[in-house]
Amino acid sequence: MRLKRGNSFLILNKNTMASDKNKTTFQTVNPATGEDIKTYTLMTEKQADKVVKQCHEAFLDWRLVSLKDRAKIIKAIGKQLTKNKQKLAELMTEEMGKLVSHGLQEIELCAAICDYTAKEGVTALKDEIRELEDGNKGILTYAPIGVVYGIQPWNFPAYQVVRYSIANLMAGNGVLLKHAQNVTGSALLLQKLYEAAGLPKHLFGVLVIDHDASDKIIEHSLVRGVTLTGSSEAGKKVAKKAGAVLKKTVLELGSNDAYLVLADADVAKAAKTCVQGRIYNNGETCVAAKRFVVVKKVYDDFKKAFVQGMEGIKHGDPTDKSSKMGPMARKDLRDKLHKQVQKSVKNGAKVLVGGTVPKDKGYYYPATVLENVKPGQPAYDEELFGPVASLIMAKDDEDAIRIANDSRFGLGGGIFSKDEKAAIKLASTYFDTGMVNINTYALAQPNMPFGGVKDSGYGREHGGFGIKEFVNAKTIIVKK
C-alpha cells in the first residue's frame, strides 16, 4: 500500500560564485592554477522544488523496501565508489586541491562506511520486542521519517556526502544534497555512481542552489530533517532556521583541536604524528590537530622536532606524487587564514616557520608554526582551517588539560603519553570533546561515533549512531 501526502512547498561558506544576487551561473576553479574548470547554472526555485518532490515520491516506495534489499544496494554503492575511485579522486583534486593519494584514501573510507552500514544496519534497524509489566507486548520499530536535507562542505567532497547519505538511505529515508559550489562536479558524479549501483532515481537528489534557496529547502514541508557540516556560525543559522519550523538537526561544526604532549611522551613519535595531524588534507580538516599543548619539561625537544618536521612539508602540484601538501581550496580561504596569522602575530605570537603567502600560481600557503600563542589571538581562540599550527607551553599535565578545554569548541583532540591507562582516564573523564586520540592521529572510523560538543555541534554519525538520528523510534503496544 502506498500512501500519498499533500504537496507543498546556504551557500554557508562563500565560494566561487559572484556576490551579484542576480547572477545565475558560477564557475568551479582549480585552486592549484586559479583557472576555471566548468560553469554551472543555479536551479530556479521551481526546479529545486521539483527535486524535493521527486525525492519524496521516491522515498514513499523506498521505505517499503526490506532492510536486506536496502543493504544490497548500499553495498553496491561502495563497490561503485571503489570501481571509480581514481576518477573521483582526481576530480576532487581538481576542484579543491587535495593530494590525489588523500583522495584515494577518502574513497576507501567511503567504501568501508558502505560495507559497515550494509552489514550493521540490518540488525540495528530491526524491530525490537519488549515485554511490558501489564503482560502486553511492546514493539519498537525504527520507521524512516522522509526526506533528509544535507548541507555539506568542500574539504572531503565524497566522505562528507557518504557519511550522512548512506546511513539515511539505509534507514529508509530520501536524501537531498546541497554541496559546496566549488565541488559541484563531485556532487553530480556521486549521484551518478549511487544510481549506477541500483539506487532508485531521485532518491538521492543534488540541489545546485544558493543561500536563499537553501533556506526555502529547510522550510519545505516535505523536508523532515536537516544535517550540516560547516562552521559554528553556519550551524547557528541552520539550527535557527530549522528550529523555527520544528525540524530536527544534526550539526558537525568546526574546532581547534588540542593535542597534548605530556611529560612522559615519546617526543619524537609525538612530533612526527602531530605534523601529519596538522597538514593532512592540506590542513583543511575539522578534526585536524591544531593547538599543540606541550608541558614545559619536554617543550624544547618537541618544538625542535616539530618545527623541523613542518619545515620539511613542501607544497606543490597535488597531482604530483612527490608533493606533500597541495593548495588551499579557495583564495578567500587562504586570505582569511593569513589574516588570522597576521593578527595573532600582532597580538604577540611568534612565527617559527612559514607565515608568508607564496608568490606561486595557485592558492598555496606554507606549513606554518606559531609560538607564544595566548588567549586573545585567533591562533588560540579560533579555528585556523589550513596548515597553521599553534604551539602552547603548559606548566604540567594538569595545566595542559586546562588549556585544551579552554575553548568554545569540542570536537576532537589527542594525548601523547607512555602511560596508556592514565591517558585513557584523562581522555574519558576530563577531555571535553566528542573524540580523543591517544598516541595517534586518526580520522573517522565507520564503527565509532563521530561528532562534538559545545560550539562543535551535536548529534552523532557512524558507529551505529548516525543511522538512528533521523528515524522515528515508534512504540507499538499490543494487548495480549
DSSP secondary structure letter of residue 325: B
For the segment 355-384, what is each residue's pLDDT rounded down to a tens digit?
999 998 999 999 999 999 999 999 999 999
Cβ-contact 411, 257 below 8 angstroms: yes
The residue among 473, 435, 444 whose CA lies nearest residue 162 is 444
Q: At residue 184, what are phi and psi to the nearest 5 degrees?
A: -60, -40
Higher pLDDT, 20 or 228: 228
DSSP secondary structure letter of residue 44: P
Tell me if residue 252 is catalytic.
Answer: yes
Tell me how far CA of residue 407 lies from CA of 433, 457, 461, in angstroms: 10, 13, 23
Asked whether the predicted pLDDT for residue 336 surpasses 80, the reply is yes
- Exactly one of 106, 252, 371, 382 is catalytic; name it: 252
For the segment 432-455, what is each residue's pLDDT rounded down to a tens digit?
999 999 999 999 999 999 999 999
Tell me if residue 311 is catalytic.
Answer: no
Cell of residue 447, nine digits: 564503527
Asked whether the predicted pLDDT for residue 326 surpasses 50, the reply is yes
- Exactly one of 274, 286, 383, 461 is catalytic; name it: 286
Cβ-contact 224, 247 below 8 angstroms: yes
Q: Let me know the angle formed at the C-alpha of 461 by 455 and 464, rounded to the nearest 5 degrees.
A: 145
Q: Dihedral of CA 229/233/235/237: which sign?
A: negative
State the pLDDT at residue 10: 36
Report the 10 Å Cβ neighbour count for 53.
Answer: 18
Q: Sheet of 174-179: strands edge to edge?
A: 204-206, 174-179, 147-152, 223-229, 248-252, 457-458
State the pLDDT at residue 71: 98
Q: At which residue does the C-alpha cell 525490537 appear? A: 128
Q: Which stretches does DSSP call E strand in 191-306?
A: 204-206, 223-229, 248-252, 258-261, 291-295
pTM summary value = 0.94
Cβ-contact 218, 250 below 8 angstroms: no
Tell me how far CA of residue 320 lies from CA of 35, 38, 101, 156, 169, in angstroms: 18, 22, 10, 19, 36
* Per-chain mean pLDDT for the chain: 95
pLDDT band of 8, cuts 50, 70, 90: very low
Please list, in sequence order, all residues whose beta carbon lies within 8 angstroms of the beta carbon of residue 395, skipping any fewer than 6 positions away. 295, 296
